[in-house]
Structure 1
Amino acid sequence: MMDKPEPRPSPGYMTEERIMIRDMAREFAMQEVLPVANRLDPEKGEMPDELIARMGELGFFGILIPERLGGLGLGFFEYCLVAEELSRAWMSVGSIIARGNMFYTAIPAKDDAERAEKIRAMAQGRYLGAFSMSEPSAGSDMASIACRAERDGDEWIVTGSKYWCTFADRADFLQVICRTSHDPDAPRWAGLTAILFEKSRGEFPVGVSGQPIPKIGYHGWKTYELAFDGARTPDYGFGEVGGAFKAIVSGLEGARAHTAARSIGLARGALEDALDYAKEREQFGHPISDFQAIRFKLATMATEVEAARALLWQVCHKLDNGENCAREAAMVKYYAAEMAERVTSEALQILGGAGYTTLYAVERHWRDARLTKIFEGSSEIQQRIIADSLLGKPKHA
């Protein structure tokens, strides 16, 4: 018989502080977000300003913002813990926290004092951004961006179209990726610059118009197609001119971890709802949770949720320690998104006809989970990244 091994210390991922943050976010999500989501999502309503303000009070928009700038000064681990809990109730609410945490370095300001003041407001949810990169003909292929910006003195003049800009109307500023150089000898991805537009909430900048895109899910806020017709904005000196591609790519690992957290939250919500329903729903004189077919579905669903979370925690730990984890971030985004679609679909199947109504939240989780396989880099893009890291780039490329 083998000797019993000495107990080894755990990785220590879930510290007392992290458990407290998770539980606080969970209580808020279940008590304040879920009732709003159940009421507004079926009618494609928008999350109320009061809910956003409450999130600001709790510090959710400033998790990654340094303490010296008014934030919590925490890491991606805490950020993704909160994102999972919020997404378990409503993915849009789990998403909106990025409009602060991932934007605080992109503030349109004349000087450092104004920038610091706006970042403090951002940490409280009072100054939020929206990101506009995709175009009708440019998605995963960022190099095909055609929306153009030309300098005129101390201003940029932007002309062209953008697509998939969520929160464009209610944000305080827009970060728009534009082409500022057309050097035929440069790489296709070169010559892209981030241009900032400050605006009033509920309005678009002068020279910009927007049309909401009809979506099957991701309700709670609107997603826009934007048209820039010679729109002018000051040159705030943000980022390197022509260097937007590299800047965006460098931040994708955190964004993919955030999407994985949202996917896990959706899957967990569907799993929990299916568990409750299976215990209550009776057929043939028994709750359906007695039937092996249902029990095995739930067992598989629970296993997949736990597996995705374990990989996410590993990625977050690496991110917070400054380790390169491009492959692992692609893996967790890919696996969690695919898992979320499977788990939410199985949950809907367990609820049967009830799951196909808007009377239960599982259909919302299902619709939103489908999007996680598309945005922040599609599942196919993640597979390409993973394959290239394992095999090197294809010779024909």
Structure 2
Amino acid sequence: MKTHVAGNNSSLTADQLGIQALAREFARKEVLPLANELDPIGGKIPRELIKKMGEIGFFAIMTPESDGGLGLGALEYILVTEELSRAWMSVGSIIRSSVLPAGLSAAKREALLPRALLGEYIGSFALSEPDTGSDAASITCRAVRDGDGWVINGAKMWCTNADMADYIVLFARTTPPPSSRKRHLGISVFFVEKTAGEFPAGVHATPVRKIGYHGWDTFELVFEDFRVPADALLGVEGEGFYTGMSFLELARVHTAARAVGLATGALEDALEFAQQRLQFGHPIAEFQGLRFKLAKMAAQIEASRQLTYSVARQIDAGQACGPQASAAKYMASEMAERVTSEGLQIHGGSGYTTDFAAQRYWRDARLTKIFEGTSEIQLKIISDSLLGKVGATR
């Protein structure tokens, strides 16, 4: 049985502790065995597991009770994320895939929400492009009005689970930017419905050859004269950039929780291995150098965990916390790379094999420093909050 490391949960309510315990038990019994089986061979997350998650309510955490959800907050959302990511970060990620985008008509949302809350209707996100990552305002994928619809041409990158998704949230430029200082204007968002397991005509998909984040495929998508109806447009035409940026506080604290969870999984595995592995007639856990290594890992995880919880509480309180969310994401992702690397080191040569999960945590941790804004972007956001944006007063 996997060693369990308990964080400082004294600030959590009884209900929050119950949700955390439920997610931890589910991750231990349902997710971890699948991760150990499927990650080494690049297998996909089974739909049966997603169904079980939906039945428990993992896709309905932040949806109001009046809409059929659990009516909980960002803190409960990241508690579940953290526990699932202890077992497999990909599963800790998929609960976000059922969040319907803003801008859907009331009738459309009412029709789709029951399925989304059960994990039966999930989406993929298409913002980045082969030549556009952190600078989202520079996207070149175009959507042009044509009769009663839109025609889309261009390429998108890093579209995870696009094949199995029921819809794609697609960002495309509909008008040229008015000036170099307002490049973010003229970008619109489209709701592209599709059949799960297929790509529609006019969409060409190439899987990305990832080193980690297994359990689902990630794609480069090329749109060639791809037509969508007029009502596929979400929100106000030309203001899609604001839509894309509006969810980033929660997205970044979600990534911080994923990083904390997988780092905790790496620590738990390292603790168990250190107590079982014998060298020079003793468990290596008796050697002070290694004991201090484990202690440092635990301390770094707990510091990132408490920062992440604090930012989640700010979100629940309705407070603007962009720099704080960036700080949580930065600290947790940088921590996760260090901690998982140490966990692999403690496993020695065994850690460099797929027979142990140490390498899975290490590979997935490296991604947390890149997606949802690189570590460098987080530092820019934090420094801008301290010093103002460069050139803002020129």
TM-score range, shorter chain: over 0.9
Aligned-residue offset at 1:156? 1.5
Distance in 1 of aligned mates of 2:87 and 2:373: 23
3-state DSSP of counterpart to 2:234: coil
Q: Which of residues 91, 101, 105 in structure 1 aligns to 2:102?
A: 105
Measured after TM superposition, the shift of residue 153 of structure 1 is 3.1
In structure 2, relative to structure 1, the CA distance for the partners of 1:323 and 1:262 (3 Å cut) is same
Q: Which residue of structure 2 aligns with residue 239 of structure 1?
A: 235
- d(CA) in 2 for partners of 1:330 and 1:342? 18
Contact 2:81 2:93 survives alignment (8 Å): yes
Instruction: Give the aligned partner of residue 274 of structure 1.
Output: 270
The Cα of 1:301 is off from its aligned counterpart by 0.2
Cα distance between partner residues in 1 of 2:103 and 2:272: 44
Residues 44 and 219 of structure 1 are in contact (CA less than 8 Å); yes or no, is this contact kept in structure 2?
yes
- Name which of 132, 136, 140 aligns with 2:130: 136
CA contact (8 A) 1:198 1:205 kept: no
Match of 1:147 in 2: 141
Q: Distance in 2 between matches of 1:37 and 1:317?
A: 30
Q: Deviations over 1:170-217 (max 9, x none)?
A: 011111000001144371111110011101100112211111000000
Contact persistence 1:197–1:205 (CA under 8 A): no
Matched pairs, number: 384
Residue equivalent to 1:176: 170
Aligned-partner Cα distance in 2 for 1:71–1:234: 30
For residue 102 of structure 2, what is the amino acid of its counterpart?
T
Q: What is the identity, as a one-letter code, of the residue corresponding to 2:212?
A: G
Distance 2:40 2:141 in 1: 35
Change (3 A) 1:95 1:289: same
- Which residue identity does 1:253 align to in structure 2? E
Give TM-score, length-normalised by structure 2: 0.95
SS of residue matched to 1:190: coil
What is the TM-score with the length of structure 1 in the denominator?
0.94
Q: Which moved more, 1:220-229 or 1:236-245?
A: 236-245
2:366 & 2:135 partners in 1: Cα distance?
Answer: 21
Cα shift readout 1:148-186 (whole Å, capped 9, x = no counterpart)? 001223311111111100010101111100000114437
Match 1:201 to one of 196, 213, 227 = 196
Tell me whether 1:85 sits opposite 2:80 in the alignment: no
CA distance in 1, matches of 2:264, 2:10: 23
Residues of 2 paired with 1:239 and 1:219: CA distance?
33
Alignment correspondent of 1:392: 388
Q: Is the 8 A contact 1:13 1:313 kept in 2?
A: no
Secondary structure at 1:182's aligned position in 2? Answer: coil
**Matches of 1:331 and 1:166 in 2, distance apart?**
25
* Per-residue deviation, residues 366-389 of structure 1 (Å, max 9, x unmatched): 000000000000000001111111
Q: Deviation of residue 17 (structure 1)?
A: 0.8
Whether the aligned pair in 1 keeps the contact of 2:178 and 2:185 (CA below 8 Å) is no
**Which digits, 9 at most, give the CA deviation of each residue in 1:100-140, with x for residues without a partner?**
13x35355xxx533421201110011111111000011100
Which whole-Å CA distance do the structure 2 matches of 1:321 and 1:352 have between them? 45
Cα distance in structure 2, aligned partners of 1:13 and 1:227: 47
- Superposition RMSD in Å: 1.6
CA distance in 1 between partners of 2:363 and 2:177 (Å): 42
Contact 1:65 1:104 in 2 (8 A): no
**1:324 Cα offset (Å):** 1.0
Relative to structure 1, is the Cα distance of residues 353 and 11 closer, same or farther in structure 2, using a 3 angstrom cutoff?
A: closer
* Aligned-residue offset at 1:248: 1.6
Q: Do residues 299 (structure 1) and 273 (structure 2) align?
A: no
Aligned partner of 1:58 among 41, 56, 62: 56
Partner of 2:3: none
Asked if the contact 1:64–1:79 (Cα under 8 Å) also holds between the matched residues in 2, the reply is yes
C-alpha distance in structure 1 between counterparts of 2:10 and 2:242, whole Å: 33
8 Å Cα contact 2:275/2:285 also seen in 1: yes
Quick one: which of 113, 120, 141 aligns to 1:119?
113
Partners of 1:179 and 1:191 within 8 A in 2: yes
Q: For residue 156 of structure 1, what is the aligned residue in structure 2?
A: 150
Cα distance in 2 for partners of 1:283, 1:74 equals: 49
Task: Tell me if 1:251 matches 2:247.
Answer: yes
Amino acid at match of 1:278: A
Give unpaired runs (5+ residues) of structure 1. 1-9
2:203 and 2:357 mapped to 1: Cα distance? Answer: 36
For residues 244-297 of structure 1, the C-alpha deviation after alignment (integer angstroms, 9 at most, x for no partner) is 111221211000000000000110000000001111111111111111110000
Is the CA contact 1:269–1:365 (under 8 Å) kept in the aligned structure 2? yes
